[in-house]
Amino acid sequence: MDVITTTTDLAAACQRLASHDYVTVDTEFLRESTFWPKLCVIQMAGPDMAFIIDALADGLSLDPFFELMGNDAVTKVFHAARQDIEIVYHLGNLIPAPLFDTQVAAMVCGFGDSISYDQLIYKVTGARIDKSSRFTDWARRPLTNKQLEYALADVTHLRDAYQFLKANLAEQNRSHWVADEMKVLTSEGTYRTEPANAWQRLKLRVRKPVELAVMMEVAGWREQEAQTRDVPRNRVIKDDAIYEVAAQQPVTADALARLRTIPRGFERSRAAEEILKAVRRAQALPKDRLPRIPKGRPAPDGSAAAVDLLKVLLKLVSENHGVAAKVIATVDDLEKIAADDHADVGALQGWRRELFGEVALKLKRGEVALAFQGRQIVAVNQDAPSPASGKPALRHAAE
């Protein structure tokens, strides 16, 4: 089994892969004790070759790998690509493109929401993937044969899944649907972790603007500290401590020490000093510069029932067209559509609008109804009343 440990061998392998129109990629990493993922192993395969890169090998430069990831002539195929791309972005300062995510493609092809790699491979090829090495220590050397076989299987079977899904998408004229989804995965904003926005990861357990200001300051400091020290956020200070600091706003070490969520002795640390400074900065803000507490727009009367109807319609469209509901619309999309016909949501744009959005708006306007046909629910258009019966004629909507 080929395990690459030198820059020369890596460059030669990447040069061979660059001659093909696609390459399958996967990574193995550790993140339990760090902020940034620690890359341990990279697996890659082309149509006629497959190999493993020992990313921890002494003296190995990953520059040839990053060069291949930036090659516009080669499609990079991942399954559930986000964490793998985050690693490439952090270490190589680039985002692989063009990109094909088989998990997204599988959802568009009707394999359900967020199908796992082993389930997809079984459904496409009938092969069973041994996942027993999934949670092994990928930083320990030497790597075992079982680990290497597991790692390699993640990219060799991926070739078959890619070819199957690519053909399926082309046959159904849905390739551009997946291309639209890749825009999020190839956006730098998806992978940037700006300290100023760190508070958005937290639950909004504040009632006053000054409390929100404290939470923003402390969360921003924690994010910067975690990145600088390369430790998980909760190793710096836990979320519950940020909530309590925002509520109590301690400005002295003694006051900080009295908080239930602060460990004993923490008030004497450098981190405690930084937290107190953050509290003081927030308290010093003039009233007109304090942040506003985000408030959701009040839901119109009957919107809950409207959302329920839209959920039924979404399930119906999803099943009829063989597309995972999660790809078509989110619950947030449905709530916004129920409140506003012109909501800025994905479900009212592009192919999603054609597939679901237009029918959803018709349902809101009473131009489409949901009805039973035998034991199944169907969407039907409501036409003008029939002269004979005085009742609306019904026919299937968007058949």
Percent of the chain with pLDDT over 90: 83
**pLDDT above 80: residue 395:** no
Q: Note whether 196 and 175 are within 8 A (CB).
A: no
pLDDT at 297: 56
Task: State the average pLDDT over residues 16-27.
Answer: 98
CATH code at 3-190: 3.30.420.10
Per-residue pLDDT band at 303 (split at 50, 70, 90): confident
Per-residue pLDDT band at 298 (split at 50, 70, 90): low
Task: State the average pLDDT over residues 173-182.
Answer: 93
Q: For 213-228, write each residue's pLDDT tens digit.
A: 999 999 999 999 999 9
**pLDDT above 80: residue 5:** yes
Phi (first) and psi of residue 332, to 5 degrees: -60, -40
Per-residue pLDDT band at 268 (split at 50, 70, 90): very high
- Residue 352 CB contacts under 8 Å (≥ 6 apart), including other chains: 328, 329, 346
d(CA 29, CA 55): 10
Domains of the chain, by residue range, sit at: 3-190, 195-289, 303-396
Q: Is the peptide bond before 300 cis (omega within 30 degrees of 0)?
A: no
pLDDT at 165: 98
Top CATH class, 303-396: mainly alpha
Q: What is the DSSP letter of 287?
A: G
d(CA 354, CA 358): 6
163-167, 295-299, 386-390: range with lowest mean pLDDT: 386-390
pLDDT at 382: 76
Q: What is the DSSP letter of 357?
A: I
Task: Return the CA Rg of the chain.
Answer: 26
pLDDT at 397: 42
pLDDT at 190: 92
pLDDT at 391: 39
Q: How far is CA 156 from CA 51, 66, 255, 355, in A?
A: 9, 20, 58, 34
CATH code at 195-289: 1.10.150.80
pLDDT at 307: 93
Q: For 104-152, write each residue's pLDDT tens digit.
A: 999 999 998 889 999 999 999 999 988 888 889 999 999 999 999 999 9
pLDDT at 299: 54
Q: For 360-384, write each residue's pLDDT tens digit.
A: 999 999 998 888 877 778 888 876 4
Q: For 320-366, write each residue's pLDDT tens digit.
A: 999 999 999 999 999 999 999 999 999 999 999 999 999 999 999 99
To the nearest 10°, report the CA torsion of 308, 312, 317, 320: 170
